[in-house]
Amino acid sequence: MGAEPLEIYLEEHDLATGLRDDVRTGLTAAQKWLPPKWFYDARGSALFEEITRLPEYYPTRAERSVLVGRAADIAAVTGAKTLIELGSGSSEKTRLLLDAFTRHGGLGTFVPLDVSISALRQSTAQIARDYPGLRVRGIVGDFTRQLDRLPTGGRRLVAFLGGTIGNLLPAERAEFLAAMRAALETGDWLLIGTDLVKDPSVIVPAYDDSAGVTAEFNRNVLHVVNRELGADFDPGSFDHVALWDPEQEWIEMRLRATRPMRVRVLDLTVDFTEGEDLRTEVSAKFRPEGIAAELATAGFAVPQFWTDRRGLFGVSLAQAV
């Protein structure tokens, strides 16, 4: 059928406004922060793809192994007519689902949603070539803001993979899951990937690899702010730090100033003391009973929960009730 023209609900000026707002809010906070979504320009996306192939970075491999083993079950249980992927990127892991649905039969439409027009245009064209009987309908949008733009009708399965939900703080997760439930009809399905709580000796190296790729990925947010907003950050004067918080059960990525600095960005002058941290990412880890409770609060039942053989990563199949 081919890829349909992209439905664009997020323009470049929306992204520029969002970046300015986040920089102004985050850099004037008592504990300075920037959200992780600004890692992902072309360079950041390439660095992250490199991270997923590192020996220390287990989440991608662990989640993929679950999908390899369970994709046929997911297709059979859901009987979905429309597959929607949030934050789709290259849709690589989703191909395991598309293959399973192709064998099972009945899937008519694939709807990837992503903030990047160029990445989405490329991936939808490739998916349309590889699955010629499938209607491919790409949506340019932010999954925290544009869930109301998802197509309606038919039984739907929304895939939110990669453990990305862990980048949301607890209140943000509750808001997202409630909005997700509001966008779905009773009987629709949500497939969600969650990195699981485990020994920090396994978690921390995944965010602080020996080759230094994650450090470059972390600093990339400063390159983005410099380029897009004319800031004068010196990325090389910030050390990459990955810290496990045992109370919150999440890992934090930070950039730590190695010297006193004064940074100019927008109409702000931002001072850093030596040793001061700029938080760039929170990545929450989950317990099976915890994610089930969060889903239940939002209006989902969890009939299936799977992990890889080592119990590193979980995949929940939840139904809107």
81: Cβ contacts below 8 Å, ≥ 6 apart = 106, 107, 108, 109, 154, 155, 156
Q: Is 226 exposed, middle or buried (0-12, 13-18, 19+ CB in 10 A)?
A: middle
Answer whether 0.85 is exceeded by the pTM. yes
Measuring CA to CA, which residue among 309, 256, 247 is closest to residue 284?
Answer: 247
Strands (E), 96-211: 109-114, 135-136, 139-140, 156-160, 189-195
pLDDT at 89: 65
Rounded to an integer, the average pLDDT of 13-32 is 94
Name 295's Cβ contacts closer than 8 Å, sequence gap at least 6.
177, 190, 192, 301, 302, 316, 318
Q: Which amino acid belongs to residue 203?
A: I
Write down the pLDDT at residue 90. Answer: 62
pLDDT digits (tens, 9 = 90+) for 284-314: 999 999 999 999 999 999 889 999 999 999 9
Q: What per-residue confidence (pLDDT) applies to 165?
A: 96
pLDDT tens digits, 83-136:
999 986 666 788 999 999 999 999 999 999 988 887 888 889 999 999 999 999
For 224-267, the DSSP string reads: HHHHHH-----GGGEEEEEEEETTTTEEEEEEEESS-EEEEETT
Residues 313 and 63: their CA atoms lie apart, in Å, by 6
Q: Report the range of poorest mean pLDDT among 2-6, 65-69, 103-107, 271-275.
A: 2-6
Looking at the chain, the whole-number percentage of residues with pLDDT higher than 90 is 83
Predicted pLDDT of residue 274: 98
Determine which of 12-16, 103-107, 219-223, 237-241 has the lowest per-residue pLDDT on average: 12-16
Looking at per-residue confidence, does 51 or 154 come out higher?
Answer: 51
Contacts of 270 by beta carbon, 8 Å cutoff, 6+ apart: 27, 28, 32, 262, 263, 264
pLDDT score for 190: 98
Rg (CA), the chain: 20
In the numeric block, which tokens belong to residue 8? 């664009």
Q: What is the pLDDT of residue 28?
A: 98
pLDDT computed for residue 88 by the predictor: 63
Average pLDDT of the residues in 205-225: 97
Least confident of 18-32, 114-128, 195-209, 242-256: 114-128
| Rounded to 5°, angle at Cα 216 from 214 and 218 | 70
Share of the chain above pLDDT 70, in %: 98
**Beta carbons within 8 Å of 43's beta carbon, 6+ residues apart:** 220, 223
Q: How far apart are CA 176 and CA 61, in angstroms?
A: 26
Q: Which of 204, 253, 218 is CA-nearest to residue 58?
A: 204
pLDDT in tens, 170-212: 999 999 999 999 999 999 999 999 999 999 999 999 999 999 9
Q: What is the pLDDT of residue 281?
A: 97
| Crossing angle (nearest 10°) for helices 213-229 and 42-51 | 170
Please tell me which of 75-89, 118-132, 148-162, 228-242 the model is most confident about, judged by mean pLDDT: 228-242
CA-CA distance, 285 to 231, in Å (whole number)? 33
Residue 14: per-residue pLDDT:
85
For every residue of 262-296, DSSP letters joined together read EEEETTEEEEE-TT-EEEEEEEE-B-HHHHHHHHH
Tokens 């390159």 locate to: 223
